[in-house]
Amino acid sequence: MKPKHLFSSDTDGHLYDTRRPDWHKSPPLRTCYRHTHSEIKNGRQLRATLRAGDSTFPGCYPMYFITSDGGAMSFDTVRKNLRSVLDSVRGNVNDGWRVVACEVNYENGDLYDEHTGEKIPAAYV
């Protein structure tokens, strides 16, 4: 949980410290703090994508993660297994946990989480 003086903008996804005078005119503490990355190359991008949430804005289309072996994982599964996922991303390990992308599920009504077997919702089905 982030301290109350830190502000994550819905507009640009950057993180700001509101204790600074004229904080809104200052550079952010961290860029892309809450941002959906379609291609995920490192742990920072993975965590930023998790913070951005499991649906697009605007539109609220449901999103999911893709692993290096082509599997699908829900945001919930990645959150629950974050240590394993981060270890695989950092180590470039192809063990079914390494997340490499995040995509919108527009029409695949038969998309299931590879680890839990739960259905991943589609926008149009």
Q: What is the pLDDT of residues 6-54, one digit of tens each?
A: 999 888 899 999 998 999 899 999 999 999 999 999 999 999 999 999 9
Q: What is the pLDDT of residues 46-98, one digit of tens each?
A: 999 999 999 987 779 999 999 999 999 999 999 999 999 999 999 999 999 99
Q: Residue with structure tokens 């009504």?
A: 109
Alpha-carbon separation of residue 2 from 16, 51, 65, 94 (angstroms): 11, 12, 24, 32
92: which residues sit within 8 A by CB, 6+ positions away? 98
Please tell me the distance from the alpha carbon of residue 25 to that of residue 39, in angstroms, as a whole number: 30
Question: Is the pLDDT reported for residue 1 higher than 90?
Answer: no
Please tell me the distance from the alpha carbon of residue 29 to that of residue 14, in angstroms, as a whole number: 8
pTM of this structure: 0.90
Please tell me the distance from the alpha carbon of residue 71 to that of residue 64, in angstroms, as a whole number: 10
**Residue extents of the structural domains in the chain:** 1-34, 36-125
